Structure 1
């Protein structure tokens, strides 16, 4: 039943550009190097085809920056593909001084298969694996960036990477159903349950959202930020809507500030090198490891820039490493509790709720990138 419902939800929630905005061609017959059509050839961009564990072949692009120390893995929004994002990715790599990998979800652009929640999880895994195995990028040097619906696969991967450097959420969603209907609890048939996953992310999180977002209400980004364990100063763009945040000067300025702060942080793998006394001093009891205290939440409202001076949340990193098993249990318990809550009235209430979900999702896409064409032209 869960698989069937997820498949139905996919038909409503995913809007790949039709036709795709680009084609793939062979740039060099001798090496078999690929290129994206209709964009200027760049030696610093690799175009790749990656096979996912679901058996789909997805297209990815890797923008190299010789002076970069960090790599961004970018999951784009709905109704977008690499052809539309090419210039934005290239500009971000240049101005943020990072390597950047972007990829198309299954069924998007020239990627094979059909889009679904589970397929997007397999897609981002394939892109992450490529960074590790092909480019030698380490987990602690990766920043995950999720835009709109891309916040779903981003957070799913983030909760499984205890040494991840940071996460950026751009116009993120609390969950698929909550985009359309202000439900107060998580239903078993919902997709991208970000509201349940964000407290499990142990690295610094930056949230960016427009206050006049007409697709994903500003309250989504605000609530996700409030639930973060490691808060970074958020960027609330006054008057910004769902697809024009890149046009605001503050957008790039705030991202630069965030990347600069993250570069100064010690890698999480160095936590194990602390003295026993320091680890004991920074470790809380079991309850505190799974849920930040009230005092910690207040501290979280300060910027990382301030926290650098006082040893940014070393205890939180230790907690994230020591509670990996606990997170897995928590993720399973969330799914089980969602099912248990709905098991009694599932035949009628769940069916009616899903009907409303379908009707609402049919009328609204999680993101449209028509307005991003202006961004690309500006770049």
Structure 2
């Protein structure tokens, strides 16, 4: 994502002369970097079940489908989580984080946005990713009725998570990791961030404006060694949110390792902020499948 955002800060002024449609499409390519590939260092998805979410898209006017991975907890009464991944890799690349969320006591549904993995083809945008998250949220409610539902987002997925949380009123809590206040703020932290390109950014992901509209508890986690999304942006996002909220800085955590390095801190924060019973934080998976 860093290389992509650096390109934005140096090339926006050139692209604007080619027209707004080209400018918007290039930003979508750079920010999402949609792929059907998994990160090479990802753990196995063994034990995770493939699920498919079909819906009619207002954005495209077509029938679309999302591919997801479902990892149930061994406890039948476990809360459920919608996992929203970041840029570049498909959902399989998040298998390690998905398992760690299960270890904290959640049954986890992780999805690919359109343009990623086996989901419908197409260049994703801020609007279509938001629509995908809403479709997955509704589908999860249908498949797991009566279960408390939580939202988790990493990096770019954190911005999508915040947008979802401020739109729905049936989430019990939201967690974001290694995320930011806005794309414009991220670009401003780079070498060429002094260039006056903010007004040309179409995919803005202005989480700092949206986060105060979340009515449920919010956990903001950041790694102290995150060089892609600086911890100061995570702190600024946290400060803009309403109570109840909590900010956790994981010492030594990078943009990619914070979730594993900070697992004990995650556990304590989840139990205290969301008032989840420590008894719900066991490990293991069941073989029961979701209906398709």
- Whether the TM-score (by the shorter chain) exceeds 0.5 is yes
- CA–CA separation in structure 2 for the residues paired with 1:96 and 1:121: 26
| Range with greater deviation from structure 2 (111-120 or 187-196) | 187-196
Higher RCO by CA contacts (8 Å cutoff, separation 6 or greater): 2
* Secondary structure of the corresponding residue to residue 215 of structure 2: coil
Question: Paired residue for 1:135?
Answer: 144
Within-5 A mapping of 1:1-379 = 6-17=24-35, 20-21=37-38, 39=44, 41-42=46-47, 45-54=48-57, 55-67=63-75, 68-93=77-102, 95-113=103-121, 114-138=123-147, 141-181=148-188, 187=199, 189-248=202-261, 251-262=262-273, 264=275
| 1:39, distance to aligned residue in structure 2 (A) | 4.4
The structure-2 alpha-carbon separation of the partners of 1:218 and 1:40, relative to structure 1 and needing over 3 Å to count, comes to closer
- CA–CA separation in structure 2 for the residues paired with 1:151 and 1:5: 24
Question: Paired residue for 2:16?
Answer: none
* Secondary structure of the corresponding residue to residue 246 of structure 1: helix
- CA–CA separation in structure 2 for the residues paired with 1:3 and 1:202: 35
The structure-2 alpha-carbon separation of the partners of 1:131 and 1:235, relative to structure 1 and needing over 3 Å to count, comes to same
- CA–CA separation in structure 2 for the residues paired with 1:176 and 1:86: 26
Number of aligned residues: 242
The structure-2 alpha-carbon separation of the partners of 1:89 and 1:105, relative to structure 1 and needing over 3 Å to count, comes to same
Question: 1:63-119, CA deviations, whole angstroms, 9 ceiling, x for partnerless residues?
Answer: 1113243211111111222222224313421x2111111011111112222221111
Does the 8 Å CA contact 1:52/1:125 hold for their aligned counterparts? no
| 1:143, distance to aligned residue in structure 2 (A) | 1.3
TM-score by length of 2: 0.74
Does the 8 Å CA contact 2:126/2:203 hold for their aligned counterparts? no
The structure-2 alpha-carbon separation of the partners of 1:4 and 1:126, relative to structure 1 and needing over 3 Å to count, comes to farther
TM-score by length of 1: 0.58
The structure-2 alpha-carbon separation of the partners of 1:129 and 1:4, relative to structure 1 and needing over 3 Å to count, comes to farther
Question: 1:36-59, CA deviations, whole angstroms, 9 ceiling, x for partnerless residues?
Answer: xx94642xx331121243333221
Richer in helix (by share): 1
Which runs of 5 or more residues in structure 2 are unaligned? 1-18, 58-62, 277-292
Does the 8 Å CA contact 1:70/1:263 hold for their aligned counterparts? no
| 1:146, distance to aligned residue in structure 2 (A) | 1.0
* Secondary structure of the corresponding residue to residue 150 of structure 1: helix
Does the 8 Å CA contact 1:147/1:171 hold for their aligned counterparts? yes
Does the 8 Å CA contact 2:225/2:252 hold for their aligned counterparts? yes
- CA–CA separation in structure 2 for the residues paired with 1:192 and 1:136: 30
C-alpha RMSD of the superposition: 2.7
- CA–CA separation in structure 1 for the residues paired with 2:213 and 2:204: 17
| 1:178, distance to aligned residue in structure 2 (A) | 1.6
The structure-2 alpha-carbon separation of the partners of 1:240 and 1:129, relative to structure 1 and needing over 3 Å to count, comes to same
